[in-house]
């Protein structure tokens, strides 16, 4: 089944101790869509300015991403400028120019309104709700959020939670939202706020999944070189939703496999700046790393021993 | 098969934001021995002072730990005083009094010299070597170390590595020893220094195992309440060595199961102050949490899906 994703498409300027890129294609919807497209058709809902480069549109379209919902407005495409610390887990936002994204009022096309899988990328909770209202009867709804909305639009955000099958957020956001420092407590507290599944992203430490069925803990794929973490969380979400949409079910076992595929997609993103690596990637590579990951985390050999 | 462990037995004063204990039985050899004893007989080699409390000796002896090698000397038992930050991953050492431990010169009993499994707990590398020399033909040798020895006795330490089947150290020590910030690079670099297996302990983020066969990544057991992390790494090592000694083999699969059991033992330790929880623990609880851990980290459901 196909997915509709709403979120940002932006030009990112990224600095790390080892280099950087200037005004490279980025944004949560771009990372999400390319990752999810490995599994299933994806339709993107976002806004860009008159300066959006044709080659960037082509990059998305060439991968078979439906870009009819990429609204072109007068003005400039959103800009984000970030700088990572030596320790890649931390970054500072140097500047954000919302530009055309400031007045983004997403309107879905008629066929998008009938979608089964919907992902509400990290935008204002009010806009996420507005998108959700337009979809007739979605089977699975996922959503992401960030510190600004937890701080400034908490009520609207939580109101949305009972509609979410899947909420992704990072460890700091989980702590902020729940008021609990311990992530197990935080995850369980957020689960009680309404989402059917909560995925807490811990960067290089992996993911904790919380659902009624219990917890699932996965380490990150261990990498020798982390070049740029930007977009890894969005690609993770894309991998998770993509796998679920492809297999059309939301069982605990499908979720776990989806989370591993998401982890694998995220691990590729950080290997190069921006979405260069994701754009290069083949499904063979994804599947190969999925197998490597399973081997890397397999404590089941154990069963041979205990007998 | 039985294990001989050499290390410290100490009285620990521990402070955290949520309470503490004063002069509680601790030390690497004590945590290690109690954890390993769930799997196999353990013989302890350490030194205590005239103030060592009979009930502490009894606690070890009652668990079937062989305490003939617990040398009683005039003077005081070693003291350690530590304080944890709100974030339990960080602690400050307020004071250390080595006392009788300062001139510890471990001498094994004749039957200990014939042991098959030997664990060189965190003491001066020179002393670790001295113990190793006394053992006729050990089948499996494990060892632990810490920042002081990496800084002050680096050569002696590395000389020991080619004799180790198993080296345990924490993430910061791995970085310090290898000069690599990235843990995958660090683990691989240390593996080249000689140990057959390197276990990098990452506290609440789990363990990375490096061997010729490749890597194994395990998350920690997610806990709602972490009361006191003291001794978790030693109990981890005890669980690993205990399982290996019980099953008398050092295959990749045995190692992985051992690492999971070690993780489980470590997870119990942090639930109460000092070794209270470890001393209370039944093997049924260990086994139950082992099963829970396998379920919690099981991405193998996946196989049903892919087909």
- Kindly indicate the confidence band of residue B301, based on its pLDDT and cuts at 50, 70 and 90: low
A300 has pLDDT over 80 = no
Give Cα separations from A21 to A25, A53, A228, A265 (angstroms): 10, 16, 10, 21
Size of interface A-B (CB pairs under 8 A): 120
Interface contact B214, partner A, CB < 8 A: yes
Please report the pLDDT score of residue B305 as a whole number: 41
- Residues of A with CB below 8 A from B86's CB? 181
- Kindly indicate the confidence band of residue A304, based on its pLDDT and cuts at 50, 70 and 90: very low
Query: CB–CB of B297 and A294 under 8 A?
Result: no
Mean pLDDT to the nearest integer, B253-272: 96
Nearest Cβ partner for A256 among B185, B259, B301: B301
Residues 6+ apart with CB under 8 A from B126: B153, B156
B115-137 pLDDT, tens digit each = 999 999 999 999 999 999 999 99
* Mutation for A interface: B175, B222, B244, B260, most A CBs within 10 A: B222
Please report the pLDDT score of residue A303 as a whole number: 44
Give Cα separations from B266 to A151, B126, B204, B275, B303 (angstroms): 36, 27, 10, 11, 30
Q: What percent of chain B has pLDDT over 90?
A: 91
A146-197 pLDDT, tens digit each = 999 999 999 999 999 999 999 999 999 999 999 999 999 999 999 999 999 9
Mean pLDDT to the nearest integer, A81-99: 91
Q: How far off is chain A from B173, nearest CA to CA, in Å?
A: 17
Residue B249: closest CA among chain A residues belongs to which residue? Answer: A305
- Kindly state the tokens that stand for A289: 């790393």
Mean pLDDT to the nearest integer, B218-234: 95
**Quick one: how far is CA A58 from the chain centroid?**
21
| N-to-C CA span, chain B | 42
Please report the pLDDT score of residue A307 as a whole number: 36
Query: CB–CB of B222 and A294 under 8 A?
Result: no
Query: CB–CB of A253 and B305 under 8 A?
Result: yes
Residue whose structure tokens are 């590398």: B125
* Mutation for B interface: A185, A207, A219, most B CBs within 10 A: A219
Query: CB–CB of B222 and A184 under 8 A?
Result: yes
A137 has pLDDT over 70 = yes
- Kindly state the tokens that stand for B290: 């082992």
Q: What percent of chain A has pLDDT over 90?
A: 91
B52 has pLDDT over 60 = yes
Please report the pLDDT score of residue A249 as a whole number: 84
Does residue A124 contact residue A150 with C-beta atoms inside 8 Å?
no
Q: How far off is chain A from B271, nearest CA to CA, in Å?
A: 13
What's the rounded Cα separation, in Å, for the pair B76 and B10? Answer: 10
What's the rounded Cα separation, in Å, for the pair A37 and A18? Answer: 30
Mean pLDDT to the nearest integer, B205-223: 95
**Quick one: how far is CA B187 from the chain centroid?**
18
Please report the pLDDT score of residue B238 as a whole number: 98
Query: CB–CB of A296 and B182 under 8 A?
Result: no
B5-32 pLDDT, tens digit each = 999 999 999 999 889 999 999 999 999 9
ipTM of model: 0.88
B34 has pLDDT over 80 = yes
Q: How far off is chain A from B67, nearest CA to CA, in Å?
A: 30
Please report the pLDDT score of residue B292 as a whole number: 94
Tell which wins on pLDDT, B305 or A248. A248
Residue A211: closest CA among chain B residues belongs to which residue? Answer: B296
DSSP per-residue string spanning A267-282: HHHTTSSTTHHHHH--
Q: How far off is chain B from A17, nearest CA to CA, in Å?
A: 13
B104 has pLDDT over 50 = yes
Q: Where are the beta strands (DSSP E) in A17-133?
A: 19-26, 42-48, 70-72, 78-84, 91-97, 117-120
- Kindly indicate the confidence band of residue A301, based on its pLDDT and cuts at 50, 70 and 90: low
In chain A, positions 83-122, which contact chain B (CB-CB < 8 Å)? Answer: 86-87
- Kindly indicate the confidence band of residue A18, based on its pLDDT and cuts at 50, 70 and 90: confident
Residue A203: closest CA among chain B residues belongs to which residue? Answer: B205
In chain A, positions 169-188, which contact chain B (CB-CB < 8 Å)? Answer: 181-185, 188
Please report the pLDDT score of residue B306 as a whole number: 41
Mean pLDDT to the nearest integer, A89-105: 92
Please report the pLDDT score of residue B1 as a whole number: 87
B302 has pLDDT over 60 = no
- Residues of A with CB below 8 A from B256's CB? 298-299, 301-302
Please report the pLDDT score of residue A302 as a whole number: 43
> Taken in order B133, B134, B136, B142, is the CA torsion positive or negative?
negative
- Residues of B with CB below 8 A from A306's CB? 257
Interface contact B224, partner A, CB < 8 A: yes
A45-86 pLDDT, tens digit each = 999 999 999 999 999 999 999 999 999 999 999 999 999 998
* Mutation for A interface: B217, B229, B242, B244, most A CBs within 10 A: B217
Average pLDDT of chain B, as a whole number: 94
């Amino acid at each position: 089944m196909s997915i509709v994703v709403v979120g940002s498409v932006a030009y990112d300027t990224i600095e790390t101790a080892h280099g950087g890129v200037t005004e490279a294609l980025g944004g949560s919807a771009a990372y999400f869509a390319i990752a999810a497209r490995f599994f299933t058709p994806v339709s993107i809902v976002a806004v860009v300015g008159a300066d959006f480069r044709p080659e960037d549109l082509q990059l998305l379209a060439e991968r078979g991403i439906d870009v009819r919902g990429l609204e072109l407005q007068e003005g400039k495409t959103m800009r984000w400028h970030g700088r990572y610390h030596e320790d890649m887990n931390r970054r500072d936002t140097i500047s954000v120019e919302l530009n055309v994204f400031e007045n983004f009022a997403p309107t879905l096309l008629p066929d998008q309104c009938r979608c089964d899988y919907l992902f509400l990328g990290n935008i204002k909770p009010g806009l996420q709700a507005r998108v959700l209202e337009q979809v007739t009867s979605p089977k699975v709804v996922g959503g992401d959020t960030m510190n600004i909305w937890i701080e400034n639009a908490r009520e609207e955000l939580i109101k949305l939670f009972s509609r979410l099958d899947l909420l992704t957020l990072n460890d700091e956001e989980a702590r902020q939202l729940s008021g609990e420092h311990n992530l197990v407590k935080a995850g369980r507290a957020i689960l009680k706020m309404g989402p059917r599944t909560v995925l807490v992203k811990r960067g290089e430490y992996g993911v904790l999944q919380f659902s009624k069925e219990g917890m699932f803990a996965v380490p990150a794929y261990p990498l020798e070189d982390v070049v740029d973490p930007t977009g890894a969380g969005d690609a993770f979400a894309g991998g998770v939703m993509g796998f679920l949409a492809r297999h059309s079910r939301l069982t605990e076992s499908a979720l776990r496999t989806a989370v591993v595929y998401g982890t694998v997609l995220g691990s590729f993103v950080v290997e190069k700046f921006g979405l260069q690596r994701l754009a290069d990637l083949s499904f063979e590579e994804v599947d190969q790393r999925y197998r490597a990951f399973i081997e890397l985390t397999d404590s089941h050999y154990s069963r041979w021993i205990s007998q």
